[in-house]
Amino acid sequence: MAKTIALIAHDGKKAEMVAFVKDHQEELSKAHLVATGTTGSYIQQTGLEVELKLSGPKGGDAQIAAMAAEGKIEGIIFFRDPLGKHPHEPDIQMLMRICDLWNVPLATNPATGSLIIKGLLEEETKLYGK
């Protein structure tokens, strides 16, 4: 069964996310991808299938956090803009807390995103605590 990976990017990081997805398109094509609405629409332009949730500020981050808490997501790649202010910051903090609570790998930059892809998709890896 395909692993489920969530993809999220703040507005200032969407172009970086699209470039990242293109660099990892072959591996990501083997996964079930879920994304917040706007990020997902950009990713769909690469030709990959993506299950779209609401836009982050409209509840998409919370929807993905709920999926993580329910054990429906194996990893999250979330390119955050560390210099921007975000009105939905409580949702972002909640998503990070859920990942910590349920031991869901969370990448916040391309380097750790590549490691999640390698760990989840290129090898049958037994994650610690899972």
The pLDDT value recorded for residue 86 is 67
Residue 105 in contact with residue 111, Cβ under 8 Å? no
The response to whether 14 counts as a known ligand-binding position is yes
Give this prediction's pTM. 0.91
Mean pLDDT by groups of 10 residues along the chain of 130 residues: 94 96 96 97 98 94 96 96 75 93 97 94 58
The response to whether 125 counts as a known ligand-binding position is no
Report the alpha-carbon distance of residue 104 to residue 4 in Å, rounded: 11
Please state whether 58 falls in left (phi above 0), alpha (psi between -120 and 50) or beta: alpha
The pLDDT value recorded for residue 129 is 54
The response to whether 86 counts as a known ligand-binding position is no
Q: Which of 11, 23, 61, 91 is catalytic?
A: 61
Catalytic residue list contains 23: no
Residue 87 is assigned to a structural domain of this protein:
yes
Residue 129 is assigned to a structural domain of this protein:
no
Residue 76 is assigned to a structural domain of this protein:
yes
Range of the domain at 61: 4-122
- Identify the CATH number of the domain in which residue 32 sits: 3.40.50.1380
The response to whether 126 counts as a known ligand-binding position is no
